[in-house]
Structure 1
Amino acid sequence: MSFLDREKSVAPPGYSRWFVPPAALAVHLSIGQVYAFSVFKAPLVERFDSSLTAIGVVFSIAIVMLGLSAAFGGKWVELNGPRKAMFAAGVCWGTGFLVGALGVATGQLWLLYLGYGVIGGIGLGIGYISPVSTLIKWFPDRPGMATGMAIMGFGGGALIASPLSAELLDRYAATPADAIVPAFLTLGAVYFAAMVLGALVVKVPPPGWRPDGWEPPVSARGTAVSEGVSVERAFRTRQFWLLWIVLFCNVTAGIGILEQASPMVQDFFTRVGPAEAAGYVGFLSLCNMVGRFVWSSTSDALGRKRTYIGYLGVGGLLYLLIAVAGTGSVVLFVAVTGVILSFYGGGFATIPAYLKDLFGSFNVGAVHGRLLTAWSCAGIAGPLIVNVIADQQLAAGRSGADLYTFSLALMVGVMAVGFTANMLVRPLPAEPDGAAEGPAGARVREAGGGR
């Protein structure tokens, strides 16, 4: 298995960096299936004779494990390179489906939690960060566009996985509940093959490589900006924790829309039919996916800080508009929620480039991994805020869109906190000469695999 080692994946002369985005997409489109897990919820409830809450825990475990494995595995990814990391992610993601299928076949719900949730979640975290840090190294001139290309795949994975999963459930057995096991086995095999193919294609740039005509940015002191600081040092900075708050607030608000939008539009969708309701869900997924590429690419021109002013500032105003206008206008509601979901996706795709701007490219995968714990926390906080408040409003005798008016207003406050944190972000203070991990030191570490 030595071909997986970082030293064996250094690009030879003439290798085109444009081979790397398709390899990254192969991984992110595969792990993006997690956004389509809801397709299996009703059949799993029937199969286990359980509740939606008990089955929904599977998704929650997977997202929590995504953040934890990215946080604790980020440094391992940087030391061992993307090929070994992407292969390991494919093994975990494919194994997660196998163990989950075993749990479904034997009626053991805990095996589904262990398989899809824990083992698969580890594959999600390692698979999420490994292509991103590599793309940033290949595209130092356009890091926002590069990360947007990959992370767009994670948002778009559900657009492929949802109809594919529904087709498998329809074809493999008389009822969807009986088709879960072969469907899981098929998806596990397909995604494993796709991720391994991406791992075989991906390569890292040779030490000292730069795009033609590009020069590293120069600091105010007239010297080249450091290629990276250690993840330990980055973790101790105020800038890291401000960005943690920024990501947490952006994701919490985006999940809030996902939790509230469908119940809020039930009124007018029952008047126009279920096809329009399904179309609306697909529209939100498309906005999430497109926003990851468009807004992240735009950040290369606008700057990361200004882009997050848009995500959190304009997004907060749009949230306020929904809180005031409600579902009175179908067109307005659909358009506004679509823009907010595009900001949600864009926030995910832009954050690695923001980290690269602040901490350099050398350890960006490890730093990004630790920052993704904000996603895990938001994945718990967002649904909890919306559903607890909705239950309280229901107990008070309210119904329909009125259940979510207060939580919408609360989300405006969440986005205001994120907006303030973003405005407080400043570049790292200049280090005394020789104290920072400069370009030469970073290259030595890269070339030596971290030794």
Structure 2
Amino acid sequence: MSPPVAPPGWSRWLVPPAALSVHLSIGQAYAWSVFKPPLESALGLSGTQSALPFQLGIVMLGLSAAFGGTLVERNGPRWAMTVALICFSSGFLLSALGASLEQYWLIVFGYGFVGGIGLGIGYISPVSTLIKWFPDRPGMATGIAIMGFGGGALIASPWSAQMLESFGGDSSGIAVAFLVHGLSYAVFMLLGVLLVRVPPHASGARGTARQAPTGPQVSAKQALRTPQFWLLWTVLCMNVTAGIGILEKAAPMITDFFADTSTPVSVTAAAGFVALLSAANMAGRIGWSSTSDLIGRKNIYRVYLGVGAVMYALIALFGDTSKPLFILCALVILSFYGGGFATIPAYLKDLFGTYQVGAIHGRLLTAWSLAGVLGPLIVNWIADRQEEAGRHGASLYGLSFVIMIGLLVVGFVANELVRPVDPRHHVPQPKEADRVQQQSESA
């Protein structure tokens, strides 16, 4: 499938809405915690077990992004968005069947494996295209699109909670909710498939002037041989682990923290908290990534990792004494979590150029795969063990938060070690591009 080329006069500002239609849909993954309590009740699952679909989904996101990154670069954003639509929607339909039959393995396979492939391909589908459309503001451009992934739960969380209330929290009600999600997201993602275009100079289409990329350029294969790639891999993994640990457990976590107080958190309020976290995640993706265009990528990651560690310390020490403090610190952490995702493509572009930035980005997202397992595993496993030991409330999470602080410190150190890529890793400029440039200069 040839990527659709924008006709003369086509506005580049139509690309972010196309990307948003996909990212707002696949961003539903961040609302998974709304389904955890009813699934645990209906199917007799533990907190660790109910996290499996989400964890597998994030693992498959990173793996499919890594292995599919080159295909996305080759076939273009429309192909990628189509694949994402089919996989993500099919994942919900399989999950609906699994819930209806009370076969949890089918929910894990559908939502986690099949839907996770849709997450990965859909996530990277517009990134390279956006950077090529907005070379002057790469942080802002990718932030606009990727904020949709963070904001997906802002829509999905209350929507899912309302459906579970209307259809019931038993297996049949969960099945209907999954079915509605799958069909609705298929329609919404189709809008992005039909709208997206690539810029003429990046298409290589006949009759268009193909422009050679400027500045240092590094291939995806060569990027893996640089320390910069692995340092950024570590930075992303640590930042994501710290944020996703709260996000996956958000609804039950805030309920546990204030269960013994005079103002316990209701199910509806917990779903509202998830929506607030989604809003912070979304705002951080556009706000912090745009800020990175002004202060630099390394500086903004110093904020994400350093201040994030302070926020975790405040929750661990004082979170159960003040609901506003707990919510505020969690919102800041999630804004950094989202900002980290939105800034990383621009950080990669700064270090490796635009030559194969989509493929490099896809490979880097394997860090998300590991973090998607580590974050929920740390929080859920420790909470389950603490509960077995007779503890309750905020004490279920204290050790988890200390671990998260340590991970953020590791990420901070890795970011400090990032330096420009050695020129020996650069791809030589194409001779044809040099010839065209010389002709232009002589004229």
The answer as to 2:93 corresponding to 1:103 is no
**Change beyond 3 A, Cα 1:257–1:201:** same
Contact 2:88 2:118 in 1 (8 A): yes
- For residues 18-57 of structure 1, what are the alpha-carbon distances to aligned partners after superposition, in whole Å with 9 as ceiling and x for unaligned? 0000000000011111222333334444554555544431
- Paired with 2:46 and 2:388, the residues of 1 have a C-alpha distance of 22
The match for 1:230 among 207, 219, 235 is 219
Q: 201, 204, 219: which is aligned to 2:195? A: 201
CA distance in 2, matches of 1:443, 1:153: 39
The separation in 2 between residues aligned to 1:174 and 1:263, in whole angstroms, is 21
Q: SS of the counterpart of 2:363?
A: helix
Residue 184 in structure 1 maps to residue 178 in structure 2: yes
Distance apart, 1:169 and its partner CA:
3.7
Alignment deviations for residues 365-421 of structure 1 (CA, whole Å, 9 cap, x no partner): 111111111111111112223344445555666543334333323322211110010
* Structure 2 equivalent of residue 340 of structure 1: 333
Q: 1:225 is paired with a residue of what secondary structure?
A: coil
Gapped regions of structure 1 (runs ≥ 5): 210-215, 217-222, 445-451
* Secondary structure of the structure 2 residue equivalent to 1:290: helix
Amino acid corresponding to residue 436 of structure 1 in structure 2: V
- In structure 1, distance between residues paired with 2:380 and 2:176: 34
How many pairs does the alignment contain?
423
Task: Compute the displacement of 1:441 (Å).
Answer: 7.5
**TM-score normalised per structure 2:** 0.87
Distance in 2 (alpha carbons) for counterparts of 1:168 and 1:414: 37
Residue 395 (structure 2) pairs with residue 402 (structure 1)? yes
Alpha-carbon distance change, 235 to 379 in structure 1, aligned in 2, over 3 angstroms: same
Task: Note the aligned Cα RMSD (angstroms).
Answer: 2.8
Query: C-alpha deviations, 1:176-197, integer Å up to 9, x for none?
Result: 5323333333221221122122
More displaced stretch, 139-148 vs 257-266:
257-266
| Residues 1:5 and 2:39 aligned together | no
| Larger mean Cα displacement after TM superposition, 394-403 or 72-81 | 394-403
Q: Which runs of 5+ in 2 are unaligned?
A: 204-210, 436-443
Distance 2:383 2:155 in 1: 32
Describe the shift of the 1:163–1:330 C-alpha distance in structure 2 as closer, same or farther (beyond 3 A).
closer
Q: Which amino acid aligns with 2:88?
A: W
| Mapped partners of 2:158, 2:260: distance in 1 | 25
Q: State whether residues 259 and 265 of structure 2, in contact with CA within 8 Å, keep that contact through their aligned partners in structure 1.
A: no
For residues 71 and 199 of structure 2, the distance between their equivalents in structure 1, rounded to whole angstroms, comes to 18
| Letter of the structure 1 residue corresponding to residue 132 of structure 2 | K
Q: Distance in 2 between matches of 1:46 and 1:97?
A: 20
What TM-score, normalized to structure 1? 0.85
Please give the residue correspondences for 1:349-360 in structure 2 after superposition, counting only pairs within 5 Å. 349-360=342-353
Report deviation, 1:427: 0.9
* Corresponding residue SS for 2:6: coil
**Cα 1:267–1:44 shift into 2, 3 Å:** closer
Matched residues in 2 for 1:362 and 1:170: separation? 49
Within a 5 Å distance, the mapping from 1:26-41 to structure 2 comes to 26-41=21-36
Q: 2:85 aligns with which of 80, 84, 90?
A: 90
Residue-by-residue CA offset, 1:145-197 (whole Å, 9 max, x unaligned): 111111111111111112223333444x4665323333333221221122122
For 1:104 and 1:264, the matched residues in 2 are separated by 26
> Is this contact kept in 2: 1:129–1:369, CA < 8 A?
yes
Give the secondary structure class of the aligned counterpart of 1:420: helix
Which SS does the other structure have where 1:207 is aligned? helix
Identify if the C-alpha distance between structure 1 residues 164 and 265 changes in structure 2 by more than 3 Å, giving closer, same or farther. Answer: same
Q: How do 1:40-439 and structure 2 match up within 5 A?
A: 40-45=35-40, 48=43, 50-171=45-166, 173=167, 176-207=170-201, 224-226=214-216, 228-258=217-247, 259=249, 262=254, 265-267=257-259, 271=263, 273-274=265-266, 276-390=269-383, 399-431=392-424, 436-438=427-429
Higher alpha-carbon deviation: 338-347 or 22-31: 338-347
Q: 387-396 or 112-121: which moved more? A: 387-396
Report the counterpart of residue 219 of structure 1 in structure 2: none
Output the CA distance in 2 between the equivalents of 1:91 and 1:126. 11
Q: Which runs of 4 or more aligned residues in structure 1 lie more than 6 Å from their structure 2 counterparts after TM superposition? A: 439-444
Comparing 84-93 with 36-45, which one deviates more in the overlay?
36-45
Check whether the contact 1:362–1:442 (CA below 8 A) recurs between aligned residues.
no
